[in-house]
Structure 1
Amino acid sequence: MRTQKSSIVILLFIGILIGTSIFTQNNSKTTLHKDKPLEDGVEDIGYIFNNELPRSSSSENFENLEDVFTEKLDSYSSLGYFPQIYESSLQATYYAIFILDTIGRIDQIDPTIITNFIMSHYNSTAQAFIDAYAERYLSIDFSTRYEYYPYTTLLEVNCYAILTLEMLGQLELINKQEFIDFIWSCYNPITGGFIGRPYATSPNNEY
């Protein structure tokens, strides 16, 4: 009986020793893993967060913006409109007037000249505004080309013209119902959205 008890005690002691040895090995591996150097480039993250890049002063930013607007106003003074690369457009004119209105500088332009420029693109036959960029969009043969072209669509051109006239207080120059009808003519009943031209005349009713 005593021999059996002694055997049990010895087995328990051996089990404790084995368990302690395994725990020590695992703990050692974990320690080595924690002390493993970071991968290349990772240690630089701390530098990125702790060392900010130099920032330009607000006065420098303001001066840069002043230079840009001065250049645009010089172009307007010599041409009578705000030009875009290659050719003047209703899109470029809208953005220029919008920014000038936003920063309180719209009084520096002649609204009559801008209004005349916009109205010169009104096509009474189509009952819509059309500029060179809209014509380029309308001339795309989508039956042979399916690539995306970043051309200003007919709907966009008319939106630019109307929004610019609104900022200039000249909406009375257009027939509002006529343009409401035009906008709704660009509605795609299948997708529930609007396309760039009247739905009935659009190739495959997609563009």
Structure 2
Amino acid sequence: MTNKLTAQTPLVVASHNQGKIREIRELLAHYGLTVKTATELDLEEPEETGTTFEANAELKAVAAANATGLPALADDSGFAVDGLNGDPGIYSARWAGPDKDFAQAMRNVEEKLQVKGATQANQRTCRFIAVLCLAWPDGETRFFRGEVEGLAVWPPRGDKGFGYDPMFQPEGHSITFGEMDSQQKHGWKPGGDKGLSHRSRAFKLFADACLEG
């Protein structure tokens, strides 16, 4: 039987990334869970040695569940550019370097696209991918994947969101994630459709399968 999370269930958000933590807290707010983060609990951040988003999300979620004895939710996500053969992909955070300089990471993406002569919109297609893993102390794990298609734009626009948001213009929209507030970016509410962002699409699947309320 699949475990369910209720309003009485403590949940660990297995992340030290403040942008991810903020968005996951916003998505969880409706459900009334008691949420603690890996940062608040002073959990070690496991090395992400996986070769897929699923593997890295599982590493983080299982480590937090084992360390705390509580269910843990982890997110592994990235920016995949078709013209760069899917890079930076699972290495999106690493492209920002040890200082997490995403302005430099975006410049790295643009410089590599320029080398390839990718100046037209049809040469700059890309997507954001998010995989959520929910791990329980009893060993059960569940995975939920969300993707959103778009274009890699230059120069970056907007100072909202985090990471590569300012250079990602989702399909069907004229502004970037960096120009959207959280409600626009998520585009989802409990009982609604799948949402806009990769994270909200993964969260919708997670909520339908694992949350009560």
- TM-score in terms of structure 1 length: 0.24
Which structure: larger Rg?
A: 1
In terms of fraction of residues, the more strand-rich structure is: 2
Structure scoring higher RCO (CA < 8 A, sep ≥ 6) equals 2
In terms of fraction of residues, the more helix-rich structure is: 1
